Each structure stands twice: as structure tokens, then as C-alpha cells.
């Protein structure tokens, strides 16, 4: 067993951290204030990331990526987690689901995405289908050799910057002993396709500037060439590729928690009340102790899950545990930090109130905490017949 | 032309330095260490010379503890071609003094025959600002310190220096030693492909004894103290009040 990072990994970590500190932090307050990322700023971050060879580093070298292992990539995500998500979005990591592209789609979607020429967004969630993906109503019917799509998606992140969308759409229904079950197909949908519209979404307390959108399909016609993977193979595509996003959330939470913790630690050492640093009061000191213990635990859980993927070991449960624990840890750490800051923690003079707000969504997206607990418990109990 | 760049492993500039309880120095155990920022600038300048076709090989050297290997790898990941690690201490708290470093560097220069040495103007740990100058004296080479601009034409280096009261431009004959000031350039990040390649670049390991240099300290640290905490300030209501207060304090 070996718990240290290699020299390359150390350098990856320090380079990404330095990038985040110098290229992301200085713009955070402005993004927070305006609720958006100016296009030119986004493009500048993207350009620098491409020049450094970090763009699409989650993709294999055979398609122009950096071919990082899951562990290396998780370290990258962890360091990016320190910075504003609205801004680090441009430190592009396209959805690795694009590896399912066929030869012809590679030229149109995969390769331009890896080169940073076209940005993607992923759309699964609907107003009536969140955790219950199969409950989706957005559906495509066969007509004259094409697919005709009607329905809508909501909460779609990064849609304003996306040139194309990876969309999960129902393409039929099977009768099963447990009742009707939707068949789902993954489609590649270009911005500007007739009948397809991207609309403003809601205003969220978490990750200001990382906006969400509503997609609507009104008799939108898509040829077979837009099907990603197999027709009715949407679940297969999802299962093969989407585990990665949950690991990403876990890594984000660890990085963000470490940044937040530095504030808590320094404030506890410097803020004096009753004639001494508040960290000397056990009530504060013990919070510091609990915070770092939980952060380290989440870090190891996350890295160990990534390591399992690299070893080709089953990792579904471990990834769910990492996502669950890291996102709940971040909630506790940001809340405790805010408490240590007292009244100032709530004020936007410090980024603490933002860390606290941002943390809230991590327990919801990419599978809620309840869904992660469901995955973990089913993984353990199903083999026992329960 | 070959360029030699000495790089030092120092406490990271972001770390809040703590004085050791016994006052012999600052605590370096378990703190983040990085490449001396001025040396990073020196490495960057060498890489730019190579990119402009004025240099063809960049050799980086670090003298200190074995862990300085990480510092050298960083320089390799930035774009240096080859590294030499000279192990001269086991204890991270032992600082190798400028004269010993300069003597070892002089031997390395003899072996490597570079056309130019670019060093940082000083290391941010002890702020000695002496190694480049001492090396110049030992080799009998010209020196151009505190460089904010470097232009190499044939066997002459035109160097703009940051001096009190402005900028001074001098021309020095090569081979020469240049020491880098803060505004010479903005060092690049290591790119991911270069990080991956760094491991495959050659790193020779030597010891101070290989060069026959005695690194025993000649200086004794008498004490190390935290700077005085800054006293609280006051806000004055008017210029008159300010002048009155300054007079009171005997400052004007
Ligand atoms: C800011 C933001 C950005 C997003 N970006 C995207 C995006 O880019 N693309 C995309 O496709 N989606 C995106 N999502 C959607 C996100 O993945 C969903 O919000 C998430 O899956 C939960 O679905 P829901 O919000 O509809 O909640 P629901 O599924 O309605 O859940 C409501 C509550 O019921 C609980 N619950 C549901 N089912 C069960 C069960 N079986 N057992 C126990 N409890 C259960 C949940 O845990 C939750 O507490 C985004 C969401 C947000 C908030
Ligand atoms: C929105 C807002 C409105 C307010 N309005 C008013 C107002 O109208 N008038 C007014 O006078 N004040 C007002 N306050 C001030 C409020 O009462 C203080 O914020 C509160 O008393 C805490 O003080 P502090 O923020 O300085 O935190 P600190 O006292 O610095 O506390 C920092 C942290 O240290 C902990 N701590 C401190 N001492 C100990 C100890 N002995 N043992 C263990 N832990 C300790 C605290 O619990 C906290 O977690 C307001 C505050 C806010 C945020």
C-alpha cells in the first residue's frame, strides 16, 4: 500500500492549484456579483487551459486528450473544486460519454469537443423526472425515417455556452411484469436545430454564474445520425459513462472543503474574544478537529474509488459512498466555518457565505444523497435477497 | 549555446513562516516547499531564449537536500532539458551558504561549459543576494545583476538593470552571469504534456564531495525573531490634524 502522490501527480496538483489561484480567484467576486461569466473571460480561461494541455485531460490520448488515469483526473477535479464552478467550467472537461461517438460523429462532436472548439451540455432531468430518470416524458417518435421529438428538460447546466447537447429521450415503452418501462435513447442535438430551443432557467442560490436552462423540443426532427450509441441503448450509455460525474462531485467537494477550512483555521487562530484566540476555546478547537478529520476521510474515500476504477475493480458503491460522504461533509464544513466566523461569516466581505450556499447543491445534483444511499444499500442487500 | 540555471528549494512564498522554538531558524518540517520565485523567473528566461533560438540546451542545478529533486522536476516540467542534483545536506534545516554554492556551481560550469548562467537575484528564504556575484568572481566572468530585460546578440548580452532611481542598461561580454529580478518575465505554468515528460528527462545525482567543496557553514545564526506585530493605526479627520500628530510624534 502506498499513500503518496507520484512526482507527476504532485506537479499536476500544484499546477492546477496555481492556475485556480491566479486565473480563477481574481474573477470570482465579479461573477458572484453579476451572476454571469463574460464570454471573453470564459474564452481566455479556455485558451490558457488548451495551451497548458489540460483541456479535455479526461480523454484518452488516441482522441487528443491527455490520457490521465481516473486517479490523476480526480486530483485535477479536486483542485478545480477550490474555484468558482462558473469559471472552472472553461477549464473544459467535456462529458466522457462522447467516447460513445461513432466514426462519423467523432469528427462532428468528439474531436471538436476535445479541442475546445465546441462545448457540450448534458440533459437528462425534466420537471417531472429527476431522480426517476425513467419517468421522463420527453419522447421521440419515428416519422419518415427520422425522429420527431417533443417535450422539455430543465436544470440544464452550462447550456448558454453549449454548441451541442447530449440529450436523453424516451423512444418507446416495454410492458414488463412490474408495469410499463420506458426505452431511452441518447441523442446529439445541435444548438439551432429547428424545433429546439434553449430558454433561461431558474435563479439558484448555489454556484452563481453557473446557470441552468430549460430546453424545449417542439416537433424537433433529428435524423438517425444524431443517435449516440444504440437506439434504446440510453441506459447502457448512461451506466457506462455517467459514474464519472459522481466522482467529480466528490472531488469537487474535497477541494472546496480544503479551501474553506484554511479560512476557518486561520480565523480560529487570529480572531480574539475574551482575551484569547477563539481556537483556544474547546468549542471552536474541536470543530476544527472534526472538520479536518472529515475532509481527510472524504479525500481518501474519493481517491480510493478513483483508484478502483483504474484497477478495473467494481466501484459503483464506492463512488456512491464518496459522493454521499463528501457532499455531506462539505455541508458540515462550510456551516462550521461560517459559525466560526460569527456574524462576519454571513457577510459577502468573505467568500464563506458563498461556499456555504454553493455546498447546498452538491447533495442534490448527480443523484441526491437519498439516491446514493439507495445505490449503496441495494448493492449490499440485493445479493442477500433483501 | 548552453544555459545553466541554478534553482533553490525554499519555503513556499504563501506559507506563513514560523520561527523555531530554539530561535535557530524557521520551522521547515512539514511545510510546503517550492522553487525560489526568482529562480522560476530565471528558468523562464532560459526557456524564452531557447524558444527564440538563442539557446539550445537548458541545464538546471540544485544544491541542497535530496528533496530538491522535486524542484528540479518542476524546472524540467517547465521546459529545462536536463538536471543536476548536488546533495550537500541531509537536514532540511541546513542552509548551504552562498560561497559554498558558488564554489560548487563554478565546478559545474567548468564541467558543463555553458555560455550563460541565469540565476535568481536572491533566494526568498535568507535574502542573501550573493551567489551570482560570488560565482562571477570565482569564474572571472562578467555579471549583470537585477535584470529586468535581457537581449542577447552574438557574444554580447544587453541587460537592463533595476537600480535605485531607474533603469540602467549595460552590455556585458559572454560568457556571463545574469541574475533575474521580479519584472524580467512572468513564469509559465508547467504544461501537462511537459509534466508527463519531465520524469523521462535526465537527472544526475552528485554530492558536494564529488566537487571537492566543503559546505560547512561559516556563519553562525545568533537568533531568529518574528517581526514586531504592527501597532494599530488611527484615522485622522483632516490634514491639519495629521500634521499636528506627526509633529507630536517628532516625525516632521
Ligand atoms: C443547479 C442544478 C444544475 C443541474 N444540472 C443538470 C444538468 O446539467 N443536466 C441534468 O440532466 N440535470 C441537472 N440537474 C438535475 C439534478 O441532477 C436533479 O436535480 C437531481 O437528479 C434530483 O432531481 P429533482 O431535483 O427532480 O428531485 P426529485 O427527484 O424530485 O427528488 C425530490 C426528493 O425526493 C427524494 N427521492 C426521490 N426518489 C427517492 C427514492 N427512490 N428514495 C428516497 N428518496 C427519494 C430525493 O432524494 C429528494 O430529496 C441539475 C440540478 C440543479 C439543482
Ligand atoms: C445580520 C446581523 C445583525 C446584527 N445586528 C446587531 C445589532 O443590531 N446590534 C448589535 O449590537 N449586534 C448585532 N449583531 C451582532 C451579533 O450579535 C454578533 O454577530 C454575535 O454576538 C456574534 O459575535 P461575532 O459575530 O463578533 O462573533 P465572535 O464573537 O467573534 O464569535 C466567533 C466564533 O467564536 C465562538 N466563540 C466566541 N467566544 C467563545 C467562547 N468563549 N467559547 C466558545 N466559542 C466562542 C463563537 O461562538 C463563534 O462561533 C448582528 C449580527 C448580524 C450577523
Domain boundaries in chain A?
Answer: 7-115, 120-235, 236-384
Nearest by Cα to A145 from A232, A223, A233, A230 = A223
Confidence of residue B232 (pLDDT cuts 50, 70, 90): confident
Three cell numbers written together for A256: 472546496
Instruction: Give the count of beta carbons closer than 10 Å to the beta carbon of residue B219.
Output: 11
Of A35, A125, A132, A200, best ligand 1 pocket probe by most atoms within 8 Å of the beta carbon: A125
Q: What percent of chain B has pLDDT over 70?
A: 100
Domains in chain B: how many in total? 1
ipTM above 0.90, yes or no: no
Of A120, A238, A364, A366, best ligand 1 pocket probe by most atoms within 8 Å of the beta carbon: A364
Residues lining ligand 2, CB < 6 A? A 271, 273-274, 278, 281, 283-284, 339-340, 342-344, 346
Domain hosting B69: range is 2-249
Nearest-angstrom CA–CA distance, A55 and A116? 7
Instruction: Give the count of beta carbons closer than 10 Å to the beta carbon of residue A215.
Output: 25
Quote the mean pLDDT of chain B: 95
- Check pocket membership of A138 for ligand 1, CB cut-off 6 A: no
CB contact under 8 A, B192 and A18: no
pLDDT, tens digit only, all 386 positions of chain A = 889 999 999 999 999 999 999 999 999 999 999 999 999 999 999 999 999 999 999 999 999 999 999 999 999 999 999 999 999 999 999 999 999 999 999 999 999 999 999 999 999 999 999 999 999 999 999 999 999 999 999 999 999 999 999 999 999 999 999 889 999 999 999 999 999 999 999 999 999 999 999 999 999 999 999 999 999 999 998 888 888 889 999 999 999 999 999 999 999 999 999 999 999 999 999 999 999 999 999 999 999 999 999 999 999 999 999 999 999 999 999 999 999 999 999 999 999 999 999 999 999 999 999 999 999 999 999 999 99
Nearest-angstrom CA–CA distance, A373 and A293? 22
* Top CATH class, A236-384: mainly alpha
Residue B188 has pLDDT above 90, yes or no: yes
Nearest-angstrom CA–CA distance, A353 and A363? 17
Chain B residues with CB-CB distance to A10 below 8 A: 70
Architecture in CATH of A120-235: Beta Barrel (2.40)
Q: Does CATH place domain A7-115 in 1.10.540.10?
A: yes
Per-residue pLDDT at A242? 84
Helix axes A352-362, A316-340, angle to 10 degrees: 150
Q: Judge whether A81 and A123 are in contact, CB under 8 Å.
A: no
Question: Which single residue is written with the C-alpha cell 430558454?
Answer: A199
CB contact under 8 A, B193 and A66: yes
When CB atoms are compared, the residue of A10, A14, A66 closest to B192 is A66
Per-residue pLDDT at B241? 92
CB contact under 8 A, A15 and B192: yes
CB hemisphere CA count around A69 (13 angstroms): 17
Residue B180 DSSP SS3: strand
Three cell numbers written together for B22: 530554539
Per-residue pLDDT at B218? 93
Domain containing residue B26: CATH number: 3.40.50.620
Amino acid at each position: 500500500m502506498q499513500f503518496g502522490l507520484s512526482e507527476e501527480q504532485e506537479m499536476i496538483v500544484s499546477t492546477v492549484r496555481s492556475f485556480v489561484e491566479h486565473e480563477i480567484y481574481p474573477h470570482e467576486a465579479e461573477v458572484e456579483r453579476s451572476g454571469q461569466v463574460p464570454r471573453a473571460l470564459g474564452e481566455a480561461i479556455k485558451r490558457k487551459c488548451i495551451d497548458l494541455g489540460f483541456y479535455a485531460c479526461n480523454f484518452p490520448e488516441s482522441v487528443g486528450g491527455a490520457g490521465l488515469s481516473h486517479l490523476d483526473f480526480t486530483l485535477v477535479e479536486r483542485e478545480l473544486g477550490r474555484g468558482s464552478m462558473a469559471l472552472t467550467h472553461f477549464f473544459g472537461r467535456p462529458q466522457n460519454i462522447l467516447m460513445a461517438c461513432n466514426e462519423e460523429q467523432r469528427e462532428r462532436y468528439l474531436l471538436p469537443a476535445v479541442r475546445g472548439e465546441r462545448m457540450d451540455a448534458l440533459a437528462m432531468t425534466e420537471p417531472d423526472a429527476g431522480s426517476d430518470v425513467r419517468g421522463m416524458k420527453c419522447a421521440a417518435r419515428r416519422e419518415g425515417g427520422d425522429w420527431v421529438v417533443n417535450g422539455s428538460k430543465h436544470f440544464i447546466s452550462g447550456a448558454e455556452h453549449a454548441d451541442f447537447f447530449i440529450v436523453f429521450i424516451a423512444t418507446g415503452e416495454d410492458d414488463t411484469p412490474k408495469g410499463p418501462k420506458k426505452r431511452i435513447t441518447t441523442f446529439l442535438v445541435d444548438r439551432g436545430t429547428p424545433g429546439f430551443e434553449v430558454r433561461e432557467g431558474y435563479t439558484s442560490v448555489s454556484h452563481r454564474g453557473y446557470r441552468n436552462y430549460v430546453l424545449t423540443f417542439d416537433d424537433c426532427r433529428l435524423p438517425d445520425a444524431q443517435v449516440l450509441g444504440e437506439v434504446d441503448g440510453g441506459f447502457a450509455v448512461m451506466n457506462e459513462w455517467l459514474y464519472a460525474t459522481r466522482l467529480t462531485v466528490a472531488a469537487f467537494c474535497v477541494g472546496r472543503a480544503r479551501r474553506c477550512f484554511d479560512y476557518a483555521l486561520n480565523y480560529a487562530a487570529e480572531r480574539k474574544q475574551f482575551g484569547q484566540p477563539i481556537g483556544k476555546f474547546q468549542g471552536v478547537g474541536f470543530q476544527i478537529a472534526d472538520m479536518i478529520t472529515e475532509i481527510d476521510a472524504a479525500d481518501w474515500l474519493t481517491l480510493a474509488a478513483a483508484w478502483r476504477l483504474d484497477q478495473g475493480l467494481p466501484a459503483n458503491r464506492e463512488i456512491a459512498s464518496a459522493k454521499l460522504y463528501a457532499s455531506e461533509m462539505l455541508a458540515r464544513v462550510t456551516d462550521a466555518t461560517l459559525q466560526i466566523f460569527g456574524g462576519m461569516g454571513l457577510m459577502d466581505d468573505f467568500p464563506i457565505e458563498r461556499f456555504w450556499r454553493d455546498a447546498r447543491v452538491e447533495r442534490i445534483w448527480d443523484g441526491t444523497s437519498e439516491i446514493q444511499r439507495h445505490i449503496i444499500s441495494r448493492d449490499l442487500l440485493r445479493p442477500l435477497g433483501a | 549555446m548552453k544555459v545553466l540555471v541554478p534553482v533553490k528549494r525554499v519555503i513556499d512564498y504563501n506559507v506563513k513562516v514560523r520561527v523555531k522554538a530554539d530561535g535557530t531558524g524557521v520551522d521547515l518540517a512539514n511545510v510546503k516547499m517550492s522553487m525560489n520565485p526568482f529562480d522560476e523567473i530565471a528558468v523562464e528566461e532560459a526557456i524564452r531564449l531557447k524558444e527564440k533560438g538563442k539557446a539550445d540546451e537548458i541545464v538546471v542545478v540544485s544544491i541542497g537536500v535530496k528533496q530538491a529533486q522535486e524542484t528540479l522536476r518542476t524546472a524540467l516540467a517547465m521546459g529545462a532539458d536536463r538536471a543536476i542534483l548536488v546533495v550537500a545536506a541531509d537536514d532540511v534545516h541546513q542552509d548551504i551558504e552562498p560561497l559554498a554554492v558558488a564554489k560548487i556551481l563554478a565546478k559545474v560550469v567548468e564541467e558543463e561549459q555553458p555560455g550563460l548562467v541565469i540565476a535568481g537575484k536572491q533566494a526568498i528564504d535568507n535574502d542573501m543576494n550573493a551567489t551570482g556575484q560570488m560565482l562571477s568572481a570565482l569564474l572571472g566572468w562578467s555579471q549583470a545583476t537585477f535584470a529586468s530585460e535581457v537581449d542577447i546578440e552574438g557574444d554580447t548580452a544587453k541587460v537592463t538593470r533595476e537600480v535605485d532611481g531607474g533603469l540602467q542598461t549595460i552590455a556585458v561580454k559572454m560568457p556571463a552571469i545574469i541574475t533575474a529580478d521580479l519584472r524580467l518575465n512572468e513564469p509559465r505554468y508547467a504544461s501537462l504534456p511537459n509534466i508527463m515528460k519531465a520524469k523521462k528527462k535526465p537527472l544526475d545525482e552528485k554530492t558536494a564531495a564529488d566537487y571537492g567543496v566543503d559546505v560547512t557553514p561559516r556563519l553562525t545564526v545568533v537568533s531568529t525573531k518574528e517581526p514586531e506585530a504592527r501597532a494599530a493605526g488611527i484615522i485622522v479627520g483632516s490634514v491639519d490634524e495629521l500634521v499636528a500628530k506627526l509633529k507630536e510624534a517628532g516625525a516632521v
